[in-house]
Amino acid sequence: MKLHLSFLFLVSLVLFSCEPAIKGNERSFVKGTVSDFEGNAITNVSVTARTQNLLLGEGSTDSNGNFEFTSLQSRFSEFTVDVNAENDNSPFGMYSIIYSEKPLQQSYNLSNIILRKKATLVFNIKKTSTENNTLDWSLQYTEPNCDVYDDEETNESLGRCYETSSFEGTLDNTNPDFEAEFPSVQNTTVQFTYQLNDTEPQTISIELTEATNFYEFEY
Amino acid sequence: MNLNIKLLLFAICIGFITNTYAQEETETVEQGNDITQDDHYAMFKIGYYNPIAFGDNFANEALEQKGGVEFSFLANLFDTPFLIGLQYNYFHSNVTNQQLVGTYDDSEIHSFGPLLGYQLLFTKTWRATIASGVGITHYQNRASNEHFNDTATTLWVIPTVSYHFNKTLGVYFSGSYRRDFMNVQTPAQLDSFFKSANYVSFSLGLHILI
């Protein structure tokens, strides 16, 4: 009896696992427009449709920033359209539109997707003083990517679109220096706040005007 | 592909051998009218099958057809020229434009269905038939680690000419029309593109008459 049950379980497991993740006899159509923050069309930006790690469709923008492609449909409820996800060398950040709960549609019209230019802040803190100082510091900067949930009952709190992110640390004699690169958005401001020992906190605004920006702070 | 060519060469060799044998036999025996004695017969075809898509549809715009094989059987009804039988064919297609069809790599296309036909003419060495049928087709599509099936209802119109080396064995050539009426559900923008696939198919192979 146990043997029979095990056999049935194995057969059902094999049958279940063999069910294709991609639906046959169904296709979706994805189209839209991609532009920069100033409203200029962006050409040759890759756009992909996926569910989990399964690539379902892909295309790229033309000279007017328009894209359209056919996508397969999966059996999973989530469907994500990634814009500019496959090019680390692109000057623009990534944009994702996530359909998580909405029943799968056959046509996705993503009217105007705005990509913002990436900027990198090369940030250095160096201890030059010989005194025994402690530096508490933090950076607030804009994230370069945008994840938008597009559901019928939109839960905006789930999305993260060019949100402000922060990073903080403490430096002293045992750990005196810090160096890191922060990915952010061009033409935004990074707020650097520091407090040396027990003095009043100070804030410095760092404008990210270039693709790569350098800032060094000495204490 | 290699298998198909080997099969064809094998068929031609067999044809010549049996033809030579048959000629020797008929020299010693009275010239027979073996092939013209055609009261009741069955025909088998097996050969190389090469469909070429045309028109504004996914098969022509986004897939590249490779060769395959076909097998068919036709028998006449009640000693008349009317024929009834079955057809199976298979071919392979590579996806050349994933933007138009989705991200998968290739398709193996299997079709099966009944045929109705008519024998247009026959002589000692030549036969011409036309057959038509409606069958089922499976597009077995493969992505990198996944597979899925599209299905279709297929209409064939298949004129065939065959040359016989002897009573039983010959070679045939066929240039046929094929239309796959797809069951793929799409939004309105893609409807006509996925509605059907049109092919002109050429096939060549062994013709066996019993």
Which of the residues in chain B have pLDDT under 50?
A: 1-5, 7-8, 11-35, 37
Residue A107: the pLDDT is: 86
Q: Which residues neighbour B186 within 8 Å (Cβ) at sequence distance 6 or greater?
A: A26, A27, A29, A106, B193, B194
Q: What is the pTM of this model?
A: 0.79
Instruction: Please say whether the beta carbons of A113 and A126 come within 8 A.
Output: no
What is the Cα–Cα distance from A94 to B96, expressed in whole angstroms?
A: 27
Take residue A211 and report the two structure tokens written for it. Answer: 């693709």
A72, B184: Cβ pair inside 8 Å?
Answer: no
In the block, residue with structure tokens 């944009």: A95
Chain B neighbors of A18, CB-CB under 8 A: none
pLDDT over threshold 70, residue A172: yes
Residue A149: the pLDDT is: 83
pLDDT over threshold 80, residue A198: yes
What is the Cα–Cα distance from A59 to A28, expressed in whole angstroms?
A: 13
Beta bridge partner(s), residue B138: B110, B151
Domain range annotation of chain A: 20-115, 118-144+162-218
What is the Cα–Cα distance from B71 to A99, expressed in whole angstroms?
A: 47
Tell me the mean pLDDT in the region A74-93: 86
* Among A17-21, A43-47, A176-180, B14-18, the least confident range: B14-18
Chain A neighbors of B190, CB-CB under 8 A: 27, 29, 70
Domain A20-115 and domain A118-144+162-218 have a common topology: yes
Question: Which SS3 state, helix, strand or coil, does residue B64 take?
Answer: strand
Domains and CATH numbers, chain B: 2-209 (2.40.160.20)
Chain A residue at shortest CA distance from B193: A70
B187, A72: Cβ pair inside 8 Å?
Answer: no
Closest by CA to B186, choosing from A74, A106, A139, is A106
Chain A neighbors of B149, CB-CB under 8 A: 20, 24-25
Q: What is the DSSP secondary structure assignment for residue A117, as one 8-state letter?
A: B
Shortest CA gap A141–chain B (Å): 37
| Domain A118-144+162-218, CATH number (from 2.60.40, 2.30.30, 2.40.128, 3.30.70) | 2.60.40
Count of residues in chain A: 219
Residue A8: the pLDDT is: 52
What are the E-state strand segments in chain B? 42-54, 63-76, 82-95, 106-122, 126-142, 147-164, 169-182, 196-209
Residues A180, A182, A184: CA angle, nearest 5 degrees = 170
In the block, residue with structure tokens 């075809």: B45
**Count of beta carbons in the 10 Å neighbourhood of residue A200:** 6
Beta bridge partner(s), residue A71: A28
Residue type, B155: L
Take residue A24 and report the two structure tokens written for it. Answer: 């046959």
Residue B29: the pLDDT is: 38
Q: Which residues of A184-196 are buried (b: 16+ CB within 10 A; e: fewer)?
A: bbbebebebebeb
Shortest CA gap A85–chain B (Å): 16
What is the Cα–Cα distance from B57 to B38, expressed in whole angstroms?
A: 43
Yes or no: domain A20-115 corresponds to CATH 2.130.10.10: no
